[in-house]
Amino acid sequence: MRWRRRSKVPKMMIANERSLEALVSGAVSGSRVPWATILTAKALLLLVVLGSVLMTFNQSQFRSAFAHWPQTEPPTLASRFSTWDIAHYLRLSTTGYEAGSHSCAFYPLWPGAIRAAATPLGGRPLLASLLLTNALSLIGFWLLYRLVERHYGPAIGRDALILMLAFPGALFFSFPYSESLYLVVLMLFLWGLEKERWAWTAVSGFLLPLARPLGVFAILPLAWYLYERGWPWKAKPADAGANEAPAAARWRFTWSRRSPWLLLLCPLLGYAAYFSLMYVWTGNAFEGFDAQQAYPNSPSIRNMFDVPHFTDALLNVHSLDGMMDGALDRVFFLLFLASLPLIYRLNKTWFFYALPAGLVPALTSWFMSYRRYTLMLFPMFVVLAQLLGKSRSRPLFWYYVILLAAVQAWAVKQFVNFNWAG
């Protein structure tokens, strides 16, 4: 009996699928990825930044922040590119974690990557972080486009990418936040499942919780992916025939009944590694959780069960883009909720990724920075691309893109002048 498989990916698409290694080489020669769109978006964002740095810098916000860059000097031009969380990441990349520091609220994979990249650049963490985040974002966009193209064709892949690039939170793909790194690791995780490369899935599943706390929920799409293919009842495929594909032969020799359990352990082991590192560095495994209590809304798992306060936060709308009362964050949350049934029909593995990725930030921090977390909800952009990609909806698609891009331009101007932008 053949190994049961419930995937709805067309057989012809699977049969004609090129390996990811071939896709890598294709990126160098004749790639179909809409690079012109990506590079145009990056160039326009750079123009907005250059114009915004000429504006008056918010000195009071700089002085009241928990972290500054430079750490002990008055604000400089570099301060424009290291506002808010960036200053924490730069501090962690140079001085590490210290007990009692507010910077302990941030997870270690991104500052560790900055530290590694700064070494060959003569110890310039800001320069290293800017180069690294933009390089990683390009890789992440390419992997995301290829993933969506594989399932739904190049037009949907292109439109989903355009919608993501226009989204107000997309500015964080060009500034040294953890979004670019997280996107690349997430895409490697999903490509590992697509290509049945379990080493990729295991390593990226381990790294995701070290990049962001939501990474531990990678266990949910992984569990569903395995369940769709018959696990735990039939976790071993039948003996392959004489005409088996190389991938099938690899499965026969490497897959066992224990392998799914080992894969499912990887996100949990990554989270355990985070607590272990915090204990080694600060003497308190929960130092990061303690540091979060100093921030607005005190993000916590306990907040998820505080329904009255969540309801109050949902209705607390007094500005367009405020830190705790912004309408944008609530609108994008409602958009996410409306898209969930469509994401479920689109791809159930992606649904079980999107469900915690969209709900947990809203419930734990009561919408603070929610537009930035929405950026990682790539299945929502795919759904929107399908809805707005029809010929009769095309004018609405471009109206939506232009509107979001205008909001993003405003957010960039706010961000580099130390005002809140998500």
Q: Considering the chain, what is the average pLDDT of its residues?
A: 84
Residue 167 has what DSSP assignment? Answer: S
Distance CA 263, CA 13 (A): 26
Q: What is the pTM of this model?
A: 0.86
Distance CA 105, CA 298 (A): 11
| Least-confidence region, from 67-81, 168-182, 206-220 | 67-81
For range 126-148, the mean pLDDT: 95
SS3 232: coil
Distance CA 379, CA 9 (A): 16
Cα atoms found within 13 Å of the Cα of residue 380, Cβ hemisphere only: 22
pLDDT of residue 280: 97
Cα atoms found within 13 Å of the Cα of residue 356, Cβ hemisphere only: 14
pLDDT band at 21 (very low <50, low <70, confident <90, very high): very low
What digits encode the pLDDT tens for the residues 192-248?
999 989 999 999 999 999 999 999 999 999 999 999 887 765 544 434 333 444 444
For range 307-321, the mean pLDDT: 91
What digits encode the pLDDT tens for the residues 76-101?
888 888 889 999 999 999 999 999 99
% of the chain residues with pLDDT over 90 = 60
